[in-house]
Amino acid sequence: DLDRPAPDRPALPLRPEIVGLEPYGAPQLDVPYRLNVNENPYPPSEAVVADVAAAVTEATRGLNRYPDRDFLALREDLAAYLLVESGVRLAPEQLWAANGSNEVMLHLLQAFGGPGRTALSFAPTYSMYPEYARDTSTGWVLGRREEDFSLDPDEARATIRRHAPSVVLLASPNNPTGTALPASTVLAVLDEAARIPGGCVVVVDEAYGEFRRRGTPSALELLADHPHLAVSRTMSKAFGLAGARVGYLAAAPALVDALRVVRLPYHLSGVTQAVARAALAHSGELMAQVGALREERDALVGWLRERGLQVADSDANFVLFGTFDDRSALWQGLLERGVLIREVGPPGWLRVSVGTPHETQAFKDALVEVAGL
């Protein structure tokens, strides 16, 4: 009733582009097996819990003051982590962080998008991208990926030429497909973007970068030669810190400087900075866990293929599989057995996050029953 406009209750002046829209988000259901939002199934170890708690205690003593606006210590720790993780040496001025990589990418659109400009990506891909565009009044264009979810470099170049975007968003590994782009495709996009007269920033979203298979490169390796490249990462997946909301990116110092202009002052709380730094100090232990998840993922891909299903190659901590005539019925059947996965991707496909061995087994058992495999 309160939602209904009445003469004494004028309608709210909603921006026309958000009238009638629902907030983005997967169902948050309390079920035994939650494999729907690509979280890390392992909670922080007791050692991480103790160090994070101690760091938060210390940070709390200074909460009467605003935090370090430029989070220099965190930038140094992130640079040290990326050197170990991908062998790429970066200066702290090349790092940026925010409350989840969602906010990092919103900052990118705030700085490089805007009215009269266009952001471009290739479907199927992460469904938040059009929301960053909408919320910054940036135009939105979706090119297409091939049947196997790869991106044809010539097709990508032609789409970029046609629309002359100021931002290109490339998720690699991509969500919801799990597929990663070869360096040659990213290089083709970077080259075409560099030809756009007004300039164009290419964002490679590596939210799932740590899960990439051996031999799959990181776009971090391309940063040195490409001042219009930004590589986005997150602590939500590999670090198992989705609840802490820490995302970051690496780029040339001039690109990072532009993001400093659009961020809200003190956007990264002192508590967030302390949590992130304490967790980064445990990256060795956490990366061992990523290795276990990768193996679990490869085994799950194999298991699904052995049962005759189509499975997209996965460099991520989730697997897209199909195809089913009635994927909604299958999704519902799994849910009734306590297994929550995601109904997302092209028609007929479903996505499941890689869980603990116990969770994966529950998923397999339920799938065998419901799909009659």
* Contacts to ligand PMP from residues 111-140, by CB under 6 A: 126
Which parts of the chain are beta strand (E)? Answer: 33-34, 95-98, 118-123, 139-144, 167-171, 201-205, 229-234, 247-251, 310-311, 318-322, 339-340, 350-353
| Closer residue to ligand PMP in complex, CB, 314/366 | 314
For 65, phi and psi rounded to 5 degrees? Answer: -100, 150
Cβ closer to ligand PMP: 101 or 360?
Answer: 101
Is residue 41 a contact point for ligand PMP (CB under 6 A)? Answer: no
Of 56-64, 83-91, 99-107, 292-300: span binding ligand PMP (CB under 6 A): 99-107
Contact between 209 and ligand PMP (CB under 6 A)?
Answer: no
317 sits near ligand PMP (criterion: CB under 6 A): no
When asked if residue 205 is in the footprint of ligand PMP (CB under 6 A), the reply is yes
Q: Which one, 277 or 370, has the nearer CB to ligand PMP?
A: 277
Half-sphere exposure of 266 (CA within 13 A, CB side): 8
Q: Which one of 171, 219, 268, 293 is in contact with ligand PMP (CB under 6 A)?
A: 171
Look at strands 339-340 and 33-34 and give their pairing.
parallel
- The angle subtended at Cα 129 by Cα 222 and Cα 116, nearest 5°, is 95
Q: How far is the CB of 355 from ligand PMP (least distance, A)?
A: 16
Q: Is 314 in the site for ligand PMP (CB under 6 A)?
A: no
By CB under 6 A, name the one of 97, 106, 133, 207 that touches ligand PMP: 207
Which residue, 126 or 363, is less far from ligand PMP as judged by CB? Answer: 126
Element (H, E) at 367: helix 357-371
| 236 binds ligand PMP per the rule CB under 6 A | yes
Judged by beta carbon, residue 138 or residue 236, the one nearer ligand PMP is: 236
Choose the binding region for ligand PMP from 97-105, 136-144, 154-162, 329-337 (rule: CB under 6 A).
97-105
Nearest to ligand PMP of 234, 283 (CB atom): 234
In order of 42, 81, 196, 349, the CA distances from 352 in angstroms are 16, 28, 38, 10
Q: Which is nearer to ligand PMP, 159 or 236 (CB)?
A: 236
Name the one range near ligand PMP by CB under 6 A: 108-116, 146-154, 217-225, 234-242: 234-242
Q: Which two tokens stand for residue 158?
A: 């032609």
Q: Report the nearest approach of ligand PMP to the CB of residue 173 (Å).
A: 8
Using CA atoms, how far apart are residues 252 and 58, in angstroms rounded to an integer? 32
Closer by beta carbon to ligand PMP, 145 or else 366: 145
Contacts of 339-342 with CB under 8 Å at 24 or more apart are 339/31, 339/32, 339/33, 339/35, 339/363, 339/366, 340/27, 340/29, 340/31, 340/33, 340/34, 340/35, 340/36, 341/35, 341/36, 342/26, 342/36, 342/37, 342/176
Q: Does position 240 bind ligand PMP by CB under 6 A?
A: no
Q: How many residues does the chain have?
A: 373
Residues 247-286 vs ligand PMP: string with x where CB under 6 A? x---------------------------------------
Whose CA is closest to 317, among 219, 180, 203, 222? Answer: 180
Give me the numbers of helices (H) and strands (E) for the chain, helices first please: 11, 12
* Chain contacts with ligand PMP (rule: CB under 6 A): 38, 100-102, 126, 171, 175, 205, 207, 234, 236, 242, 247
